[in-house]
A and B are shown apart, each in its own frame.
Chain A
């Protein structure tokens, strides 16, 4: 299942599996701790609807276009149906 960050509802913590970007574009994300294996949680939407996520205590604002390149995995304990209900 190819689950991307924009389809995750607010306050749902997920695990980042893969960054679907070329290495040079991914590096700024990696430097700020957004790397495969990290827990990532959308906490808020900006006024224009772009996601603001929490990663290891840091708040990071992304564009939805960038967020769409982040492949994530639901952590065990939350089923896909719960996720659909939430969104």
Chain B
């Protein structure tokens, strides 16, 4: 959740504001170890922001090159070329050409390639050299090249290309100092755009595109041949793993096992961590309550802010575990296999394989996922992908699911130690989202978005052990974003809600919550949600959760927090059990599985589809489905 909320913020903030440091751009194809090298060089001294107007993340870090000198390094998205078909390619091109607002033109380039696939990867070299900037070519995975019996004369390659070369194993940290030495020699150029345009096909060529590519390929082949490049043998461990992970029978089973493992761990195994954070927050709240004098301020702080923000912050461990798994799957190379296994399925429902990655990102947050749908090249496929992405169970739903499941579903095994009842319900909710997405895509592609299917292409990188350092840094980023959001949006909602519970004053004190401004607002919408078995408290939660889904948890935390201060002392879960039946709790879960309770998503869909038609249709459709779904669920359970 929350990736979108760093948008527009600090986009121009170069670290610490020292603008005299040279800027170096780090580029390379996907899976070349680019980000690993970036992390090695910058460590914790990096900032993630968004490029202005887009949600491609901008990673800038500061590298120490001497005792008193630093260089800023920008980590660009991995690209195969510069056709600017995808947003990643466009961002990369704009930064390299010096056209990116808020970022000056780079003074030098570091091009990193996977040396085990040198010939293939050097296709990027020619367009990059045309920029005529000081360039370091990093031959990464050098250890793997040698292990698998490949070789290349790097000195000859350097002479032939006219660039400096470093051999590295970024994963193990070998050769990183050579890169640092190169960075130390970079001097700032005259500012301003490079005046060069990056293209796949050399400028001024008379050849058709395909021939120009073949021509470049011929030159690259000649160059690596002259440098004595010997292609290493195939990675036998990767082949053995693929024999299982892409096996006709084992492949889909492994796929399923991975999915179950992820959900079981974010639910069952995260519980002790969540309980720990919960105890920490409630005991610190109690301490705060006893330390402060009994004033309105104590009520605001303890019953409003602490209860509201605290009830969301407890879910940090769970969200981090989800991102930990996504990170491990991505970095290990399994994610690409999963995409291949899923492709045929996606194809059948009328989506293309490229939609798999946006949909998968949708499990974290729909906003970056919808922007990631830009990689889907066919316009109708892209619209269909955008339309169904919010059905994917984003992490903002997790706090809601976690709260209700913990309150209503017994913690008992269903299938021995492997699958508990709670995990099964969670899986069911994820399944519900997928089913709704599939059905909706199927309908869309047969009605509004009829089209011929397009192509799918997926590169399968060798399996690699994920680097703890990279994943750790990413988790740190996610925690920051999550906590910043809890500290802003949810904090603000908590204060507004608390204020609404304090008026109109009765005999100089706060009114009973049913009579408060908030209570009355809730009672206005109560008739609409009564058929679902929800009372006005849930109604208020549904309204505030329009801002973001997880806000309902904070809202209920605040409402019950204020209520408890005046009535009997109940935990949030006990209070829910008092006010909801099992049926309406499941109804509420179903409602959240379907409804588009997220203003950020609506805003981003409007921007991505250039109008209100699609977001309005999407919001109405999902709300209808949510209401009907909840209505049916209440009557079944």
Contacts and interface: CB of A to CB of B under 8 A. Distances in A.
Contact of A62 (B117, B243, B457): B457
A37 B339 CA distance: 28
B140 to A, nearest CB: 14
A62 B460 CA distance: 11
Interface residues of B, number: 47
A52 B234 CA distance: 14
Contacts of A52: 242, 246, 340, 460
B285 to A, nearest CB: 51
A44 B242 contact: yes
Given A56-B120, A59-B461, A60-B459, 19 more contacts: A21-B455, A25-B454, A25-B455, A30-B210, A36-B210, A37-B217, A46-B251, A46-B340, A46-B343, A47-B249, A48-B343, A57-B117, A57-B120, A57-B232, A58-B459, A62-B456, A63-B347, A63-B456, A66-B457
Contact of A47 (B234, B341, B458): B341
Nearest to B83: A27
Interface residues of A, number: 37
A30 B344 CA distance: 23
Interface string A9-21: 0000000000101
B461 to A, nearest CB: 8
A59 B459 contact: yes
A60 B337 CA distance: 10
Interface string B197-219: 00010000000111001100110
A31 B199 CA distance: 12
Interface string B219-249: 0000000000001101000000011001111
B45 interface: no
27 contacts: A26-B210, A27-B83, A27-B200, A28-B457, A30-B210, A32-B80, A35-B213, A37-B214, A38-B217, A46-B251, A47-B246, A47-B248, A47-B251, A48-B345, A50-B340, A54-B234, A55-B120, A56-B119, A57-B116, A57-B119, A57-B231, A57-B232, A58-B459, A61-B340, A61-B343, A61-B456, A63-B343
Nearest to B233: A57
Contacts of B214: 35-37
A65 B460 contact: no
A29 interface: yes
B635 interface: no
Interface in B180-202: 200
A66 B123 CA distance: 22
A30 B454 CA distance: 17
Interface in B540-572: none
A78 B558 CA distance: 76
Contacts of B459: 32, 58-61
B353 interface: yes
A23 interface: yes
Closest 5 CB pairs of A and B: A48-B344, A31-B81, A59-B460, A31-B80, A57-B117
Contacts of A66: 455-457
B455 A58 contact: no
B453 interface: yes
B85 interface: yes
A52 B458 CA distance: 9
B458 to A, nearest CB: 4
Contacts of A55: 120
A57 B247 CA distance: 21
A52 B252 CA distance: 16
A18 to B, nearest CB: 9
Contacts of A28: 80, 85, 455, 457
A56 B343 contact: no
A30 B457 contact: no
B120 A32 contact: yes
A60 B80 CA distance: 13
A19 B200 CA distance: 18
Contact of B210 (A23, A33, A61): A23
B231 A61 contact: no
B234 A30 contact: no
Given A32-B120, A37-B214, A46 B246 contact: yes
Contacts of A46: 246, 251, 340-341, 343-344
Interface string B562-595: 0000000000000000000000000000000000
Given A28-B457, A59-B460, A35 B217 contact: yes
B457 A33 contact: no
B473 to A, nearest CB: 27
B457 A32 contact: yes
Contacts of A32: 80, 120, 457, 459
A36 to B, nearest CB: 5
Contacts of B234: 54, 57
Nearest to B238: A59
Contacts of B252: 47
B83 A61 contact: no
B374 to A, nearest CB: 14
A47 B343 CA distance: 10
A32 B167 CA distance: 23
Contacts of A31: 80-81, 83, 123, 200
Given A37-B217, A44-B246, A58 B120 contact: yes
A61 B209 contact: no
A61 B347 CA distance: 14
Contacts of A35: 210, 213-214, 217
Interface in B467-490: none
